[in-house]
Amino acid sequence: MKVILLSDVDGLGKADDIVNVNDGYARNFLLKRKLALEATASNLNSVRMKKGALAERAKREKEEAEEIAARISGQKIILQLKAGEGGKLYGAATSADISEGLKKLGFTVDKKNISLKSPIKTAGEYEISLKLHPEVAVTITVEVKTVN
């Protein structure tokens, strides 16, 4: 029996996959627990439409991320943080600090999308990578200045 999976099923497939399973497994397990739908013509058509809409949305999100990457590329963020003797910062410059700096420039980037190679603990210039989309990344310069 052909079924359309409604959610991920271990060993069988992911949501919206069309799989062929034994009749008993489909009736007694997948359909009963609402993990799948019978693959009728109308159900197959609705899955195709849903996949098309998801693909269009993913394409649009990637284009938006590329547009933001083009605008953000080459930007320099200046962070002014308190430091002790020798220019060593109290604590470290975090991805949250960089996110706030980007917000001041008019860009909203979640701190989870900012990757620091190592903690920023001294003043200076650093190259930081931003992952705006799974396929779109951009590098920016962050300058850390000390304030006493």
Threshold 0.95, pTM exceeds: no
Please tell us whether the domain made up of 2-61 is placed in CATH 3.60.150.10.
no
The superfamily CATH assigns to domain 69-147 is Ribosomal protein L9, C-terminal domain (3.10.430.100)
Residue with tokens 């007694």: 28
**74-131 per-position pLDDT tens digit:** 889 999 988 888 778 888 888 999 999 999 988 888 989 998 888 898 888 999 999 9
Residue with tokens 């943080």: 81
State residue 75's pLDDT score.
86
Residue spans per domain, the chain: 2-61, 69-147
136-147 and 76-82 strand pairing: parallel
Q: With a cut of 90, say whether residue 8 has pLDDT above it.
A: yes
**10-46 per-position pLDDT tens digit:** 999 998 899 999 999 999 999 999 999 999 999 999 9
List the Cα angle 76/77/82 in 5-degree steps. 140
Q: What is the DSSP letter of 9?
A: B
| Type and span of the H or E element at 127 | strand 124-133
Asked if residue 34 lies in contact with residue 42, where contact means CB atoms within 8 angstroms, the answer is no
